[in-house]
Chains A and B, each alone.
Chain A
Amino acid sequence: KQEVTQIPAALSVPEGENLVLNCSFTDSAIYNLQWFRQDPGKGLTSLLLIQSSQREQTSGRLNASLDKSSGRSTLYIAASQPGDSATYLCAETRRGGADGLTFGKGTHLIIQP
């Protein structure tokens, strides 16, 4: 059974800090890993997707890495801003996306102005 764990469950930091969110997974047959952002009362916004053959992806102030051998992924947020406050979810999928995503419970991030 695939499991995805996210640590920490909640994080509060002052504006401007760099921070790292952690995600671990048990599935060695991972096909890709995806990071999402969820705002209260809204749907999920895909931030970064890392294929199993890749090591990392970058978009603006965000960088996500994938280490299949250790079963870990990290999301690095540089120069955090209050607008980054949200819940961040990581999810893994198998078999080319033909299966559903398996999500972690998320990290609730608050950036203090």
Chain B
Amino acid sequence: NAGVMQNPRHLVRRRGQEARLRCSPMKGHSHVYWYRQLPEEGLKFMVYLQKENIIDESGMPKERFSAEFPKEGPSILRIQQVVRGDSAAYFCASSPPPENRTHPFFGSGTQLSVL
């Protein structure tokens, strides 16, 4: 049973380009979380999704950022028109439904660098 898979591990973009970060949850996990870790900062919650539904996006910037978790395929975090301040490590975590009371498992992250 593979863990949470994130790709790419490293992503370099120039200002104004789009960044697409992918997260494949663990087998059997129906819920996905995205977190951002800025340099010298703790991880900050961005968005919580289950398949085809955004449950909580209170931590996600209102503009340029979007997330989806389709019925088939990985969850995607999309950042449009990237700026230097978007440079950070983006972590994905997955879990079964909350009623299972299992802690989420984290991926290794995607390091986004904006030139």
Which of A44, A96, A106 is the one whose CB lies under 8 Å from B91? A44
Q: Is the CB of A100 within 8 A of B35?
A: yes
Is A63 in the interface zone, CB < 8 Å from B? no
Chain A positions 30-84 with a Cβ under 8 Å from a chain B Cβ: 32, 34, 36, 41-46, 49, 51
Q: Is the CB of A42 within 8 A of B108?
A: yes
Q: Is the CB of A98 within 8 A of B98?
A: yes
Nearest CB in chain A: distance from B95 CB, A: 7
Known: A34-B103, A43-B91, A105-B41. A100 touches B109 (CB 8 A): no
Is B65 in the interface zone, CB < 8 Å from A? no
Chain B positions 29-58 with a Cβ under 8 Å from a chain A Cβ: 33, 35, 40-46, 48, 55-56
Known: A96-B98, A105-B42. A49 touches B91 (CB 8 A): no
Known: A34-B103, A97-B98, A100-B48. A43 touches B41 (CB 8 A): no
Count of inter-chain pairs, beta carbons less than 8 A: 68
Q: Is the CB of A89 within 8 A of B43?
A: yes
Nearest CB in chain B: distance from A86 CB, A: 14
Chain B 54-77 per-residue mask, 1 if CB under 8 angstroms from chain A, else 0 = 011001000000000000000000
Nearest CB in chain A: distance from B114 CB, A: 18
How many residues does chain A have at the interface if contact means C-beta atoms less than 8 Å apart?
26
Least CB separation from B102: chain A residue: A97
Instruction: Provide the bound-state CA to CA distance between A100 and B36, in Å.
Output: 12
Report which B residues bind A (CB closer than 8 A): 4, 6, 33, 35, 40-46, 48, 55-56, 59, 91, 93, 95, 98-99, 101-109, 111
Report which A residues bind B (CB closer than 8 A): 4, 32, 34, 36, 41-46, 49, 51, 89, 91, 95-106
Closest 10 CB pairs of A and B: A100-B45, A43-B108, A105-B42, A44-B106, A103-B42, A103-B43, A97-B98, A43-B106, A98-B98, A49-B103
13 A-B pairs with C-beta separation under 8 A: A43-B6, A43-B106, A43-B107, A44-B106, A45-B106, A49-B103, A89-B42, A89-B43, A98-B55, A100-B48, A103-B42, A105-B42, A106-B42
